[in-house]
Amino acid sequence: MGETTLLGTWVRRFLLEHLIGERNLARNTQRSYRDTLCQLIPFVSSQLHKPVDRLAMLDVSAQIVREFLSWVETSRGCGIATRNQRLAAIHALARFVGEHSPEHIEWCTQVRCIPYKKTTHAVVAYLDLPEVDALLASPDQRTALGRRDYALLLFLYNSGARADEAAQLTISDVDFPSSSVSILGKGSKRRQCPLWPDTILELQRLAGTRQPQERVFLNRCGQPLTRFGIHAIVERHALKTQVAIPSLKAKRVSPHSLRHSTATHLLRAGADINTVRAWLGHASLDTTNVYAETDLETKAQALAKCDITSGHKTTRRWANDPELMAFLRSL
């Protein structure tokens, strides 16, 4: 069996040459594609009863890919979104092989014709201002860890940063004189975000006299927080806040829901959609439009501005009109 027909050869080139060398994709995307192949290759090997090192590229047929996707849903209990994510990685591999090997074009076409499964989009979860205030009040700022947690929560809400972006933040990324921060986002793209004076003050306290190249957010052992550690901190304080704010029990509070909250509150404050897109580092405006579509208060404000009355003004607010509110909730 020639080297160019072996699955292992193409997988190595795809992961090292394409994802890193050519595309320079984000680390999380690289890991997602790698994890897909770590599941796919043993599955194909077991189905065909062939050793992993003897699998050919053509062994990963369109039919066996469909069986793999069904296995992801049924045996592993994953949702449709995860299934589609796995398929996206396989599509990318097939496209790469097809572009570099003419004899595999027919196989590439068959694999890339496997469709994504349609799924409903979950409603974007965000926190209302009282809920954000309660979450920010949760850390005990009399302790070092409490001050760190407060600074982290405040930074996440102020900047709309993803958990991984906050974990990678260095002291040199924060421009203290101009009250702004440079965030390294997806695709190694940087964006500038303004910071409130309170956020700058908390980050200054956290940085202290440490070196500029050090990470801003550290764990109790002095090591950089990971994105998983940041998730744990947010979830811990959300659980603590549920006692005072019962509405949080119905919401899954995470760094990403704080990011959603930032976008929603920016829109409510009158920021245009392009400003929000740049603030969050979205590549496409379509991603940002989700926030405008799901925010009930913004819809209600737009409706109130175009309200046609019967010749007389009313002083009743839209929020106090039960019929109007019932209609808005049905949208």
Q: What is the pLDDT of residues 72-120, one digit of tens each?
A: 999 999 999 999 999 999 999 999 999 999 999 999 999 999 999 987 7
- Position 304 pLDDT exceeds 90: no
Residue 54 a catalytic site member = no
Band the pLDDT of 14: cuts 50, 70, 90.
very high
Give 116-134 pLDDT, tens digit per residue: 998 776 666 789 999 999 9
**Which is catalytic among the residues 104, 237, 260, 282?**
282
* Mean pLDDT value across residues 307-312: 49
| Tokens matching residue 248 | 């949080």
pTM of the shown model? 0.69
Q: Which CATH architecture does the domain made up of 129-293 adopt?
A: Orthogonal Bundle (1.10)
- Position 45 pLDDT exceeds 80: yes
- Position 274 pLDDT exceeds 90: no
Residue 249 a catalytic site member = no
Per-residue pLDDT, 245: 92
197-202 long-range contacts (CB < 8 A, ≥24 apart) are 198/154, 199/151, 199/154, 199/155, 199/158, 199/159, 200/174, 200/176, 202/147, 202/150, 202/151, 202/154, 202/155
**Which is catalytic among the residues 34, 186, 240, 251?**
186
Residue 227 a catalytic site member = no
Per-residue pLDDT, 263: 87
**Which is catalytic among the residues 91, 162, 191, 237?**
162
Residue 282 a catalytic site member = yes
Q: What is the mean pLDDT of the chain?
A: 86
**Which is catalytic among the residues 18, 86, 259, 265?**
259
Give 176-226 pLDDT, tens digit per residue: 999 999 999 887 789 999 999 999 999 999 999 999 999 999 999 999 999
**Which is catalytic among the residues 83, 256, 265, 277?**
256
Query: What residue spans in the chain does CATH classification 1.10.443.10 cover?
Result: 129-293
Q: How is domain 3-112 classified at the CATH fold level?
A: DNA polymerase; domain 1 (1.10.150)
- Position 267 pLDDT exceeds 60: yes
Residue 251 a catalytic site member = no
3-state secondary structure the chain: CCHHHEHHHHHHHHHHHHHHHHCCCCHHHHHHHHHHHHHHHHHHHHHHCCCHHHCEHHHCCHHHHHHHHHHHHHCCCCCHHHHHHHHHHHHHHHHHHHHHCHHHHHHHHHHHCCCCCCCCCCCCCCCCHHHHHHHHCCCCCCCHHHHHHHHHHHHHHHHCCCHHHHHHCEHHHEECCCCEEEEECHHHCEEEEECCHHHHHHHHHHHCCCCCCCECCECCCCCECCHHHHHHHHHHHHHHHCCCCHHHHHCCCCHHHHHHHHHHHHHHCCCCHHHHHHHHCCCCHHHHHHHHHHCHHHHHHHHHHCCCCCCCCCCCCHHHCHHHHHHHHCC
Query: What residue spans in the chain does CATH classification 1.10.150 cover?
Result: 3-112
- Percent of the residues in the chain that have a pLDDT greater than 70, as a whole number: 83
Band the pLDDT of 293: cuts 50, 70, 90.
low
Residue 186 a catalytic site member = yes
